[in-house]
């Protein structure tokens, strides 16, 4: 398959049960499920990649902003987890019959930053492009394409 966009991401199944071959521009990786659910654990799971995208975007956004402001940010580390919880466990949820997807994001900022700088950077974590995509109105359009 030749993508019309050279930066298109192409995901193809392999002979293994869950394993997927992923090409993103010039990069290649394998995505799989853990052995506990029938995969071979040959690569990160789809949710691992989702968390990695959010974490990388968060770190990049904070780093670029701090450099532009010439703040003494030395390093950003973002730890993320994903869980599905019952909405009844969510105080802010309107419908307790639903399951809520929750991402916990813990940001560590290293460097002699002021309290105000740290607060501003934490504020900006919610403004990274991937965060905005995940929390905004997302329109995914799927169409069937004939194989060559």
Q: Is the pLDDT of residue 23 over 90?
A: yes
Q: Tell me the two tokens of residue 127.
A: 């403004």
pLDDT at residue 99, rounded to an integer = 73
- CA distance linking residue 83 with residue 78, whole number of Å: 17
Residues above pLDDT 70, as percent of the chain: 89
Please compute the mean of the pLDDT values over residues 135-144 and round it to a whole number.
94
**Domain boundaries defined on the chain:** 1-44, 45-135
Q: Is the pLDDT of residue 98 over 50?
A: yes
Between 88 and 5, residue with greater pLDDT? 5
Phi and psi torsions of 6, nearest 5°: -60, -15
| Alpha-carbon distances of 49 from 29, 33, 117, rounded to whole Å | 11, 12, 29
- CA distance linking residue 23 with residue 33, whole number of Å: 18
The CATH number of 45-135 is 3.30.300.20
- CA distance linking residue 102 with residue 29, whole number of Å: 26
Q: Is the pLDDT of residue 96 over 90?
A: no
Q: Provide the 8-state DSSP code for 17.
A: S
- CA distance linking residue 53 with residue 44, whole number of Å: 12
Give 63-75 pLDDT, tens digit per residue.
999 999 999 999 9
Size of the chain in residues: 148
pTM: 0.86
- Contact indicator for 77, 110 with CB cutoff of 8 Å: yes
pLDDT tier for residue 22 given thresholds of 50, 70 and 90: very high
Give 36-82 pLDDT, tens digit per residue.
999 999 999 999 999 999 999 999 999 999 999 999 999 999 999 99
- CA distance linking residue 118 with residue 105, whole number of Å: 15
pLDDT tier for residue 112 given thresholds of 50, 70 and 90: very high
- In 3-state terms, the chain is what percent helix, strand and coil (to 5)? 30, 25, 40
- CA distance linking residue 43 with residue 21, whole number of Å: 10
Selection from 58, 62, 80 nearest residue 72 by Cα: 62
């Amino acid at each position: 398959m030749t993508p019309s966009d050279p930066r298109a991401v192409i995901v193809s199944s392999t002979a293994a049960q869950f394993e997927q071959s992923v090409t993103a521009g010039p990069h290649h990786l394998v995505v799989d499920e853990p052995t506990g659910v029938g995969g071979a654990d040959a690569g990160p799971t789809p949710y691992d990649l989702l968390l990695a995208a959010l974490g990388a975007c968060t770190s990049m956004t904070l780093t670029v902003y701090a450099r532009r402001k010439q703040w003494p940010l030395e390093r950003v580390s973002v730890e993320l987890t994903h869980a599905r919880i019952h909405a009844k466990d969510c105080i802010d949820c309107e419908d307790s019959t639903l399951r809520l997807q929750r991402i916990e994001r813990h940001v560590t900022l290293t460097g002699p930053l002021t309290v105000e700088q740290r607060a501003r950077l934490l504020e900006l974590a919610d403004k990274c492009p991937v965060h905005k995509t995940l929390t905004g109105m997302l329109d995914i359009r799927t169409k069937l394409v004939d194989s060559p």
